[in-house]
Structure 1
Amino acid sequence: MKAVVLAAGKGTRLQPLTNDKPKALVEVDGRPILEHCLDSLYELDAEEFVLVVGHRKEQIIGHFGDEYRGVPITYAHQREALGLAHAVLTAEEHVDDDFMLMLGDNVFNANLDEVVARQHEDHADAAFLVEEVPWEEASRYGVCVTNDDGDILEVVEKPDEPESNLVMTGFYTFSPAIFHACRLVQASDRGEYELPDAIDLLIHSGRTISAVPAEGWRVDVGYPEDRARAERLVRAERGELGIDELDAAEQAELSSVTSAEDGD
């Protein structure tokens, strides 16, 4: 499968870290966030990286060139910051089959392979990794509304009053049907074309959507404190930080990785 990575963001909330670089090149543990993304996708046997770039795109192109770890890179230019659904559409001409999608501001150590497997096994039009977050943080994400059986009925992008604390994590697989859905999306109150709205259209049109509960950890690097948290987790996995140097939530995330690996 090809892997599309959305890396066009400015990272306004990450200032001053983004004063002289795009969000995707902010370093976590001495390496750009985008490198962490590409490493995760490389482990999933991505056959090509399609990087959607925009703000300071020349810095990203200059850093990565035309390949990463032997996997070719194609660049798609999002000329205006009009939302994730709009960003996905900029990659359409480079994708002709099922593909992986990752938001380029996330650092993962999670069961991404299960999402890819679910896409194939269910012949789904979309599969994505979901996790529960503290209720006060849910409005930062695409929120999944479920029924009593846990089936996803609706997804809502950054709601003011979330109906659920189950959110999408920034890793998905899609069939090309997502492109048609993205074209049908109307601009939100924020003036953007939201990816959760496109997924919601797939759900309501009867398409097969699979959700995979996250095991492990991921950090959405939206603020400087998120970057610091990602660095602590990466360093702890290498044994450079003791478990007692992490907070309770971070300890639980590392434990879930260990449990998942033991289950394998």
Structure 2
Amino acid sequence: MKAVVLAAGEGTRLRPLTEDKPKVLVEVDGKPLIEDVFDNLLDIGIDGFVVVVGYKKEKIMERYGDEYRGRPITYAHQREQLGLAHALLQAEPHIDDDFVLMLGDNVFRGNLGDVVNRQQEDRADAAFLVEEVPMEDASRYGVCDTNEYGEIQRVVEKPDDPPSNLVMTGFYTFTPAIFHACHLVQPSDRGEYELPDAIDLLIQSGRTIDAIRLDGWRIDVGFPEDRDRAEDRLPEAQLQTASEPEPEATNEP
């Protein structure tokens, strides 16, 4: 399974950290954001990357070349920053089967593999991680509108008046059906082609969509203070992992 990593953003809200580099090369705990994304993806068995680049793309391409830890990297260029659906379409020529999509500016520690497993078990056209955030923060994300049974009826990108505080995180799996939906998306009021709008088209057309609750944590590094929060959180997570007991030895085959 390939992974598409969206890494074209300029990161204007992260300045001055992004004055001389793309957003995904901002370091957290001594490692660029995109490298943490790569490592997470390798942990769940990804065997190749399609990296969508844009702002200062040469810095990413020169640093990583055509492979990362033995897995091939293909680059796709988003010439204009016209939204996540538009960015995803730049990867379409390189994808011919189910794939993972991950945003290059999110730090995750959690159940990413559950999303892949659920999508494959249910043969769903999309599966993604969701989490609850403070209501005042929901308008920063793609928000899920659910019915009384907790089923997602629609998703809305960055609404002024969020219908809930259940939001999509930056990790998804898709079949190639998402590309057709992205081609149908119309520009939003912000003038961008929004990925949640494409996912909503899949929902409204009756496609199978799975939402899995995040078991763990993630930080969307959009502002310098988000980077600082991730810096504080990562050493705690690494310490917790190191302190977990080793499984007991067994003589069973």
Assess same fold via TM > 0.5.
yes
Which amino acid in 2 is paired with 1:185? V
- Following the alignment from structure 2 to structure 1, what is the Cα–Cα distance between the partners of residues 123 and 78? 30
Tell me how far 1:144 sits from its aligned partner. 0.4
Question: How far has the Cα of 1:47 moved from its partner?
Answer: 1.2
Indicate the residue corresponding to 2:9 in structure 1.
9
Provide, for residues 186-215 of structure 1, a one-character-per-residue CA deviation record: whole Å limited to 9, x for no partner: 000000000000000000001000000010
1:39 maps to amino acid: D
Could you report, residue by residue, the CA deviation over 1:206-232 in whole angstroms, capped at 9, with x for unpaired residues?
100000001001010000111011111
Shift of 1:77: 0.3
Deviations 1:20-46 (A, max 9, x none): 100010000111000000000011111
SS at match of 2:34: helix
Counterpart secondary structure, 1:131: strand
Question: 1:43 — aligned with what?
Answer: 43
Query: 2-side partners of 1:229 and 1:96: how far apart?
Result: 37
Residue identity opposite 1:75 in structure 2: Y
Q: Amino acid of the residue matched to residue 109 of structure 1?
A: R
1:196 equivalent to 2:196? Answer yes
Residue 237 of structure 1 and its aligned partner are, at CA, apart by 2.0
1:138 alignment partner in structure 2: 138
Identity of aligned residues (%): 70
- CA RMSD between the two structures: 1.1
Residue of structure 2 equivalent to 1:123: 123
Write the distance in 1 (CA, Å) between the matches of 2:92 and 2:110: 27
Partner of 2:23: 23
Distance in 2, Cα, partners of 1:74 & 1:93: 11
Alignment of structure 1 residues 58-137 onto 2, 5 Å: 58-137=58-137
Whole-angstrom distance in 2 between the partners of 1:178 and 1:78: 18
C-alpha deviation, 1:6, in angstroms: 0.3
5+ residue gaps, structure 1: 240-253, 259-264
Match status 1:150 vs 2:150: yes
Task: For structure 2, list consecutive stretches of 5 or more residues without a partner in the other structure.
Answer: 245-253
Match of 1:226 in 2: 226
TM-score, with normalisation over the residues of structure 1?
0.90
Deviation of the 1:236 alpha carbon: 1.2
Moved more, 40-49 or 172-181: 40-49
Q: Name the structure 2 match of 1:52.
A: 52
- 1:134, 1:68 → 2: CA distance? 36
The Cα of 1:181 is off from its aligned counterpart by: 0.1
Cα distance in 1 between the residues matched to 2:18 and 2:116: 32
Partner residue in 1 for 2:174? 174
State the secondary structure of the residue aligned to 2:101: strand
SS in 1 for 2:183: helix
Alignment of 1:241-260 (within 5 A): none
How far apart, in 2, do the equivalents of 1:9 and 1:53 lie?
8
Distance in 1 (CA, whole Å) between partners of 2:29 and 2:62 is 20
Superposition TM-score, scaled by structure 2 size: 0.94
Q: Which amino acid aligns with 2:125?
A: D
Q: CA deviation at 1:238?
A: 2.9
Q: CA separation in 2, counterparts of 1:228 and 1:74?
A: 31
Q: CA deviation at 1:178?
A: 0.1
